[in-house]
Amino acid sequence: MPHAPAFAMNGVTVRFGGITALDAVDLEVPRGRVLGVIGPNGAGKTTLFNVACGFVTPAEGSVRRDGQPLTGLKPHHLPRHRMARTLQGLGLFERVSVLENVMVGADRTATSGFLSSLLALPRSAADERRLRERALTTLDELGIADYADRVPGSLPYAIRKRVALARALVGEPELLLLDEPASGLSDEEMESLGDLILACRERMSVMLVEHHMDLVMRVCDSIVVLDFGRVIAHGTPDEVREDPAVLAAYLGDEVDRTAAEVPR
Amino acid sequence: MATSSALPVRAWRRVWSGTGSRHLLLALLGLLAVIVYVEAASDFRNLQFAAFGYLGIAAGGLTVLTGLNGQLSLGHGAFMAIGAYTTALFLDDGSPVVPLLGVLVVATLVTVLAGALIGAAAARLHGPYIAGATLALAVGVPGIALHFSDTLGGEQGLGVVAPPVPVWLLDLDYFFTGRDLTPSRYLSYVVWVCLIVTFVLLANLSRSRVGRRWRAVRDDDVAAEVAGIHLGRARVSAFVVSTACAGLAGAVMALVVRLTAPGGYTLTLSLTLLTAVVLGGLGSLWGALIGAGLLSYLPQLATNVGESLGLDQTRAAELAPLVYGAVMIAVILLAPTGIAGAVRALRARRTARAERPPPQTTESTVQQGEMSR
Ligand SMILES: Nc1ncnc2c1ncn2[C@@H]1O[C@H](COP(=O)(O)OP(=O)(O)O)[C@@H](O)[C@H]1O
Ligand SMILES: [Mg+2]
């Protein structure tokens, strides 16, 4: 299917007991495009990501990747579908080096099995070398190769965020899911994160949940607005900005100040 | 890597930078040290050394499970019992039908089978529940021996007759030392060769993608899963590898102790193993070895020191648990990452001082980190 979107949800509904966290959600991430998902707190953004990753199985609806339905998706299948996700709270492996953190992300490309690892066969050594080189290349691309031998805990937050991004990118995903990638970053760091995301677009499609509207408006090709689990608006950044339903949803939500400051 | 380096330097670097070749080299050096000690020490010392060895094998396995994969087992003594009883069933009289190597392999495989079952169950459990399940195992398995007392010998246990020293080894040893290899020395060799082989394999795993996946699951299971790691498979494989070590340790322990009885495999044994692993430094194979050594020799050492200070024998023997406790407290206070962890931190601090100080380093040590590129 040459024209199928990289990722699509059709009528996805998720219920937690009495709460409908997602209500017949439709969305599409066209290839090489960036889709932003925004909405007030509790709107269902994280749940939407969890469905995309196989942590939550929807009660109704379907999820498709390049037109193929992802039935029975489990989180550990993501690399196999050329998908990668960053987690809202870093989720780095704290007691291994930055390099090895990133090597875990590249594990998909290794082929040596348990036996060649046990006996340290040449196949295993070759895999290790390749993973290390790949990881170093990615660290270098993100400008953090100097930290390769450090443990994440000893590094500034912005660097750690980059390590998490490197771990997602090193497997060369075709669809990147970013959960609040800008949280905790300074304006300057957010600026360069935006550049990075725009650069990624050449190689992959991106879906991103983010509170910082400046970033969302800058990097997204289209935006989906969720409120109470429902898509209340979707369109280009300009269209969404003008949408009265969006303004109503945000103005009604006092918790989320940053999001309410939609630049006009 | 400068191409202008002298050939021996380059050869050395090649050996040292390859995971397999480095571990083999260390194994050879270890084997040399073992040979020197075994030949020099008395029969009594050799039995003590063998006891250190089998504790070390089990501790090495436990450090993989607890240190590398973050799963707690309070029941590794039970897996040692399975290996020991399997061995005892094969070697209950002087006419073994299977060669010793075969017995050790079968004992390990039987334990692995049990480990796979328990591991599959444990992979579905979390923290305190795994502890509870393995605790039940530690308490329950010796009970099985009591229940099937016809085959397993009940309280008295089963006698184990170690097979005779193979002729080729007798000849070889005689050729070099000019005296006969005693059974105690032979057992010491058997245990330590097993230990060296086990540790080489564990070190290989630890430095491979298998070990890296285990660590990833230990540090953050959600992130590991998203990165494509099957949590269940990672946890069960760590459990299986770990129980294989316990099974082998139990098998050689049966040979050394010459008796397999429930009293040898109580909860105390499981806790001793855990203590060794924590003392040495979680996740470090060297640490597991150091911890096992401490636990094997410390009581004896304390008693000897007490006697030489003029205490009578019973008093001196009472010193052992005291010293034991004091060492525990000292390690926890002074080296919370265990002895191996403390050494690593010290080394890292020294290299950090030698090189230029990296930006705002507090602790840049990497556990089991590869520094080579
Ligand atoms: N595991 C869960 N169990 C029960 N309710 C949940 C669970 N996850 C999310 N919810 C509920 O679903 C709704 C959407 O939550 P979430 O997806 O976290 O929103 P957002 O990420 O947009 O803030 C909220 O009402 C939340 O309380
Ligand atoms: Mg959320």
In the three-class reduction of DSSP (H, G, I as helix; E, B as strand; rest coil), residue B329 is classed as helix
Q: Is the pLDDT of residue B281 over 70?
A: yes
Calculate mean pLDDT across residues B297-304.
83
Counting other chains too, the contacts that A187-192 makes at CB distance below 8 Å and 24 or more residues apart are A189/A158, A190/A214, A190/A215
Q: Is the pLDDT of residue B359 over 70?
A: no
Please check whether residue B285 touches A, CB under 8 A: no
What residues does B104 pair with on adjacent strands?
A: none
The per-residue pLDDT for B131 is 79
Closest CB to A96 among B18, B215, B222: B215
Pick among B64, B209, B355 to test the A interface (most A CBs inside 10 A): B209
Distance CA B62, CA B66 (A): 6
**Regarding beta strands A83-86 and A175-179, do their DSSP bridges make them parallel or antiparallel, or are they unpaired?**
parallel
CB < 8 Å to A150, chain B: 358, 361, 364, 366
Nearest CA in chain A to B70: A95
- CA geometry: angle B370, B363, B324, nearest 5 deg: 90
A15 is written with which tokens?
Answer: 């219920």
8 Å CB contact of A97 and B366:
yes
The per-residue pLDDT for B354 is 62
Cβ count near A123 (within 10 Å): 16
**Regarding beta strands A230-235 and A222-227, do their DSSP bridges make them parallel or antiparallel, or are they unpaired?**
antiparallel
ipTM of the modeled complex: 0.90
CB < 8 Å to A131, chain B: 209
The per-residue pLDDT for B4 is 56
The per-residue pLDDT for A252 is 58
Calculate mean pLDDT across residues B194-206.
97
User: pLDDT tens track of chain A, all 264 residues?
Assistant: 557 899 999 999 999 998 999 999 999 999 999 999 999 888 999 999 999 999 999 999 999 999 999 988 999 999 999 999 999 888 999 999 999 999 999 998 898 899 999 999 999 999 999 999 999 999 999 999 999 999 999 999 999 999 999 999 999 999 999 999 998 899 999 999 999 999 998 899 999 999 888 899 999 999 999 999 999 999 999 998 888 888 887 765 544 444 444 443
CB < 8 Å to A115, chain B: none
Distance CA B156, CA B260 (A): 8
The per-residue pLDDT for A246 is 81
The per-residue pLDDT for B353 is 65
What residues does A206 pair with on adjacent strands?
A: A34, A176
The ranges assigned to domains in chain B are 2-266
The per-residue pLDDT for A195 is 93
B49: left (phi over 0), alpha (psi -120 to 50) or beta: alpha
Answer whether A47 contacts ligand 1 (Cβ < 6 A).
Answer: yes
pLDDT-based confidence at residue B87 (cuts at 50, 70, 90): very high
With tokens 């050395």, the residue in question is B12
What residues does A28 pair with on adjacent strands?
A: A8
